[in-house]
Structure 1
Amino acid sequence: MSIDIPWVREELAQFLRLTDLYRPPDPPGVSIISSWRSNRGSEAEIVASAQVVERILDRVLPRWRTEVSVHRNKSVNRWCQHREAAQRADAVLQRDAEVRQRMGDAPPQLSAGQMHPWAWEGARALWGNGHFREAVTAAAKRINAEASNKIGRRDISETKLFQVAFSLNDPKPDQPRLRLMPNDASETYRSIHRGAMAFAEGCYAAIRNPNSHEDKLPELSEHEALEQLAAFSLLARWVDTATVLTA
C-alpha cells in the first residue's frame, strides 16, 4: 500500500505546530524576564499526535531513533528528537523523487518498515533500541507462531513445523500442509515446496538458533540484521499466502 503523502505531511505539520516553543505573554501589568519557553499544544494533544507520528517516522525514516541525535536541550523540550525527525521525514516526502532524479540511478533501498508485518511488527520494538539480534529472534518467533496457528499444530515448532507444513506428502487428519501452488504434478510444484522447506530450515538453523545465544555473540550490524530480517519476511509472506490443504 502506497503512502498517502498529503495526509502524512499534514500529520507531521500538526505535530510540529503542537511542539513549537514560544514564550507565553506576561500577565497584564507584569514584566517577567525569563528564557522559559512552552509548547503551543497541551501535553495530551502532543502525546496523541506523537502516537501517529512515531508510526509515520518508523515507515519513512526506519532508523530515526538511532540516527537523529538527542539534543542536549531535551530537558527544555522533550520532543526535540521527534521534531527533527519529523522535519527530515517531511523533506523526504517532498523531495525524494526529485533527489533520485537529480542523482541518477540509485540501488534499491531495503526498508524494514516495508517488510511483511509478521517480521517487522515482531522486531520493531527491539529494533528501535538497537537490539538487532534480539529483534530478528523476535521476528522468527512471531513467524513460527503464525505458521503454527495456520495449520493448527502447537506440538511442534520451527524446523520440524516447516518440514511438516511444506512436506510433499499428502495431508493426514492431524497433519495439514501448506501449498504455494496447486499440485499439477510438475517439477516446479515439487521444487517450490522442497525449496520452501529447505529455506525455512536454513532460517531457523543458521539465523534464529545462533541469535538465541546473543549473550555469546557480538551485536549484529544493522545492515546484517536487515538482511536476516528480510529472509524471515520472505518466509512470512510464503506462509501468509499459502493455502492450507487438509485430509
Structure 2
Amino acid sequence: MSIDTAWARDELAHFLQLTELYRPPDPPGIFSVRASRANRGPQKDIIASAQVVEQILDRVLPRWRTEVPTNKSVNRWCQHREAAQRADTVLLRDAEVRDRLGDNAPQLSAGVMHPWVWDGARALWQSGHYREAVTAAAKKVNAEMQNKTGRRDASETGLFQSAFSREAPKPGQPRLRLMADDGSDTFRSIHRGVMAFAEGCYAGIRNPNSHEDGLPELPEHEALEQLAAFSILARWVDSATVQSA
C-alpha cells in the first residue's frame, strides 16, 4: 500500500506547529535575561502527534534515528523536527528530484513488503544492521510457515519442500496449494518453483548471513533485494490454502 502523501504532510505540519520553539513572555513585573525557549504546543499533544509522526518517518526516512543529528540539550524534539522537515521535502519533491537527476526508475521500499518480512527486519534495519535484519526476516517467514502448517518438526527448506510437495497430504504433513490440482503443467510448475525458490532463499541468503563470521555489512540496496526475495516467499505462504489428510 502506497503512502497517503497529503495526509502524511498534514501530520508532519501539525507536529512542526506543536514543536515550534518560542520564548515565553516574562511574567508581569519580571524581566529575565535567559534565552530559554519552549514548544508552543502542550507536551501531551506533542507526544500524541509524535506517535504518528515517528511511523511516517520510519516509512519515509528509515534511518532517521541514526542519520539525523540530535541535540536534546536544546530541546527534546530537535531531532524529530529536523527529520519531519526532511521527510516533508521528500514527500513533496522526491519525484521531481529523481526526474531532474535522471533517475526516475521505480524505487523499492521495505515498508511495502509483506508485513512478516518488514516486521521481522524493522528494528535491526533502522539501526543499520542490514545482514542481521535479513536473517530476522527469514526467521519470521519460517515461523509463520510453521504456524500455518502446524508443524514444529521441520523448518526452512525441508518444511517448504514438504508443504509444497505435489503428493497428497499425510497425517501431520499438510500441503499448501496456490491453485487447485487440475493435473496441469501450471500446477506442477508453480509448486516446484516455490520449493526451489525457498531453497535458494534459505541456502543462498539466510544460511550465509547467519553462519559466516566476519562478513562485511551488506550494502543497503543488496539487503533490500534479499528482503524482497523473502517477501515473495511470504506472500506465497500467506495466500496458500492448507490441505490436511
TM-score (norm 1): 0.91
| Aligned twin of 2:11 | 11
Map of 1:100-119 to 2, 5 A cutoff? 106-119=104-117
| Alpha-carbon contact 1:62-1:112 (below 8 Å) kept | no
CA RMSD of aligned residues (A): 1.9
Map of 1:112-151 to 2, 5 A cutoff? 112-151=110-149
Secondary structure at the counterpart of residue 167 of structure 1: coil
Secondary structure at the counterpart of residue 242 of structure 2: strand
Map of 1:20-59 to 2, 5 A cutoff? 20-59=20-59
| Alpha-carbon contact 2:63-2:127 (below 8 Å) kept | no
**More deviation, 177-186/125-134:** 177-186
| Aligned twin of 2:75 | 77
- Counterpart of 2:220 (choices 219, 222, 239) is 222
Alpha-carbon shift at residue 210 of structure 1 (Å) = 1.6
| Alpha-carbon contact 1:178-1:245 (below 8 Å) kept | yes
Moved over 3 A (4+): 95-105
Alpha-carbon shift at residue 103 of structure 1 (Å) = 5.9
CA deviations 1:159-196 (Å, max 9, x no partner) are 11111111111111211111112212111211111111
Aligned length: 245
The one-letter code sitting in structure 1 at the alignment partner of 2:37 is: R
TM-score (norm 2): 0.91
In 1, the alpha carbon distance for the partners of 2:215 and 2:47 equals 37
- Counterpart of 2:164 (choices 160, 163, 166) is 166
Alpha-carbon shift at residue 40 of structure 1 (Å) = 2.0
Alpha-carbon shift at residue 100 of structure 1 (Å) = 5.5
In 1, the alpha carbon distance for the partners of 2:2 and 2:219 equals 29
| Aligned twin of 1:64 | 64
In 2, the alpha carbon distance for the partners of 1:174 and 1:213 equals 30
In 2, the alpha carbon distance for the partners of 1:97 and 1:199 equals 34
The one-letter code sitting in structure 1 at the alignment partner of 2:69 is: V
**More deviation, 87-96/100-109:** 100-109
| Alpha-carbon contact 1:116-1:236 (below 8 Å) kept | yes
In 2, the alpha carbon distance for the partners of 1:145 and 1:55 equals 25
In 2, the alpha carbon distance for the partners of 1:205 and 1:101 equals 38
In 2, the alpha carbon distance for the partners of 1:203 and 1:82 equals 37
Alpha-carbon shift at residue 65 of structure 1 (Å) = 3.1
Question: Sequence identity of aligned pairs in percent?
Answer: 75
Secondary structure at the counterpart of residue 81 of structure 2: helix
In 1, the alpha carbon distance for the partners of 2:42 and 2:130 equals 35
Which ranges in structure 2 are unaligned for 5 or more consecutive residues?
A: none
In 1, the alpha carbon distance for the partners of 2:129 and 2:100 equals 35
1:180 aligns with 2:178: yes
